[in-house]
Amino acid sequence: MASPIPVISQPFKKHQVFAAFWIFGLLNNVLYVVILSAAIDLVGALVPKATVLLADVLPSLLVKIAAPFFIQLIPYNYKITVIVALDILGMLTIVYSDNTSWKLFGIVLASLSSGLGEVSFLQLTHYYTNTSLKAFSSGTGGAGLVGSFTYFLMTTVLGVSVKISLLVFTVVPFIIIFDFFWLLPTPVFAFDLENNGLSYGEIEDNADNNSGSIRSLKFNDLKLNKESFIFLKKHVANVCRKLELLIVPFMIPLTTVYIAEYIINQGISPTLLFSIDKTPFKKYRDLYVAYGTLYQLGVFISRSSASFYRIKRLYIPSLLQFINLAICFAQSLFMIIPNVNLVLLLMFYEGLLGGASYVNTFMLVTESVDLENREFAMGAVGVSDSFGIVVAACISMWLEPKLCQFQVSDGRPWCRME
C-alpha cells in the first residue's frame, strides 16, 4: 500500500496537535515508569529489580520487532482499543494480585500495551508536522518525571500505600481514548496512486473533499491464494531491506545508549547506597526512588530540547553514557564519590544523555528518510531502545546480586535493607 502524503497545515490546530501528541507520549510511557519506580516494592529488596525491568520491556520489544511486518495493516482505532484494554487489565492484575508471578504477568500486559503504543504513535506523527514528533518526545520525557515524582510523592512523602498509589494510575488509559477520538485533529491526506496495484487497504472517502480519516481505515478481505503468499514473501524481503538501511545510522547508537543507561538504572543504582544517616531519606528504598526521579527529570528536559539544541552525531551520547556507566560501576565497588548529592547529580546527567539520544535519533529519521518510507522508519527504529533495555536487563539480573554480595563482604550491607 502506498504511503499517504500528509498535507495537514491548519495553523489554528497546531497547538491542538502539540497537546494531543504530548498527552500521547505522557500516557503511553507513564505506567512503564511507575512500574519501574515501584520495582523494589513489587518484588522486594532481595529480588533483582531487573526482574521487573525484563517483564516491563521484553514483551514491548517483541511487539516492536514484529510491528514493521504488520502494523500498517491495522486501523488506528483498533490499535487504540487494544492499547487501552491491555493497560487496564495489566494494572488491575498488578494491583489486586498478591502473588509475584501474577504481578509480573500484569506487568507483561502493560508492556505489550506500551510497545504497541509507542510504535503506533510514532508512526502517527508521519501524518502531521514535526511539531507532533517534538511533542510526543517531550511527552514521553514528561511521563518519566510525572510517573516517578508522583509515585515518590505518594509513597515516600505522603505515606500512601503502594496498592492505592498504583490504583490511581489505572485511570490513565481512559484518557488515551479521549485524546485520540476527540482532541487529536483529523489529518487531511491523499494516497499516492502509483502503488503498482498492490493495495491491501483504502481510506474511506470523505464526502466533502475525497480525503480520508486515519480513524476509518477499511481493509479488503485477504484471500489466501498463491498470489497472496508471493506478495507476502516480497513484502517480508522488502521490509528486511528497509531495516538494513536504518541499523548503522540510527538503531545502533540508540541501542547502545540504552544498554549503558539501564545497566545503571536497574543493575547498579540499587547498590549506589550510603549509610542512611548520611542521606536526607528515612529508608534505603527512598534513595532508589529518588535516583529514578532525578533520572527522569533529566530525560524530560533533554527530550523537550529539540527546538533549542540538536545533536547530529548520535554516537556521542552513546560514548558519554558508557563513561557514565564506568563511573557508576566504580562507585558501587569502591565508593569513589563520598557525597550522596553528587551521585544524585550523576543520575540527572544520565537522564540528560538518554533523552537527548532518543529525541535526536527520531528527528534525524524525519529529516533523512524519504517521505514514502518515513512512517515505516519511525516505527522500526523504535525497536532500538527496547532491545537495548532487554540486553541491559539480562546483564543486570546477574550484576546487581554480584555487586550487592561484594558490598556485604566489604562491610556495606545496605543493599539488603529496606
Region 387-415: mean pLDDT is: 93
Binned at pLDDT 50, 70 and 90, residue 149 comes out as: confident
Residue bearing the bigger pLDDT, 100 or 352:
352
Q: Tens digits of per-residue pLDDT, 196-206?
A: 333 323 333 33
For residue 127, pLDDT beyond 60: yes
Region 109-122: mean pLDDT is: 93
Q: What is the mean pLDDT of the chain?
A: 84
Binned at pLDDT 50, 70 and 90, residue 230 comes out as: confident
Region 24-45: mean pLDDT is: 87
For residue 223, pLDDT beyond 80: no
> By CB neighbour count within 10 A (0-12 exposed, 13-18 middle, 19+ buried), where does 20 fall?
buried
> By CB neighbour count within 10 A (0-12 exposed, 13-18 middle, 19+ buried), where does 275 fall?
exposed
Binned at pLDDT 50, 70 and 90, residue 210 comes out as: very low
pLDDT of residue 45: 67
The cell for 382 is 523504535
List the alpha helices (DSSP H) in 284-382: 284-303, 315-334, 340-368, 371-381
Q: Are β-strands 217-219 and 189-191 bridged in parallel, bridged antiparallel, or unpaired?
A: unpaired
Q: Please state, for a pLDDT cut of 90, what percent of the chain lies above it.
A: 54
Q: Tens digits of per-residue pLDDT, 294-333?
A: 998 999 999 999 888 899 999 999 999 999 999 999 999 9
Cα separation of 129 and 370, whole Å?
15
DSSP helix/strand/coil, 9? coil
The cell for 277 is 544517616
Where does 4-416 sit in CATH, by number? Answer: 1.20.1250.20
Contact 298, 349 (CB under 8 A): yes
Binned at pLDDT 50, 70 and 90, residue 228 comes out as: low
Cα separation of 213 and 6, whole Å?
11
